[in-house]
Amino acid sequence: MKVNANGPKKGMGIHARRGVAYVVLAIITVLCLFWFLLLFINTTRSHSELNQGFSIIPSKYLFSNIQKLIKMGERLPILTGLLNSLIVAALSAVFCTYFSVMTAYAIHAYDFRLKKFMFTFILMIMMIPTQVTALGFLQLVSRMKLEDSFIPLIIPSIAAPVTFFYMKQYMDSALPLSLIEAARIDGSGEFRTFNAIVIPLMKPAIAVQAIFTFVTSWNNYFTPALILHDPKKRTVPILIAQLRSMDWSNLDTGVVYTMIGLSIFPVILVYLFLSKFIVQGVAMGSVKG
- pLDDT 10s digits, 167-202: 998 898 888 888 888 988 888 888 899 999 899 888
Low-confidence ranges of the chain (pLDDT < 50): 1, 3, 285-289
CA distances from 136 to 110, 121, 140, 160 (A): 34, 20, 6, 18
Looking at domain 67-288, what is its CATH homologous superfamily?
A: MetI-like (1.10.3720.10)
Write the pLDDT tens digit of every residue in 227-276.
988 888 889 888 888 876 666 666 778 888 888 888 888 888 888 888 77
Domain ranges of the chain: 7-63, 67-288
CA distances from 173 to 36, 154, 212, 289 (A): 36, 30, 21, 12
> Using CA atoms, how far apart are residues 123 and 240, in angstroms rounded to an integer?
34
> Using CA atoms, how far apart are residues 79 and 73, in angstroms rounded to an integer?
8
| 8 A C-beta contact, residue 154 and residue 95 | yes
pTM here is 0.81
Q: Helix, strand, or coil here: 74? A: helix
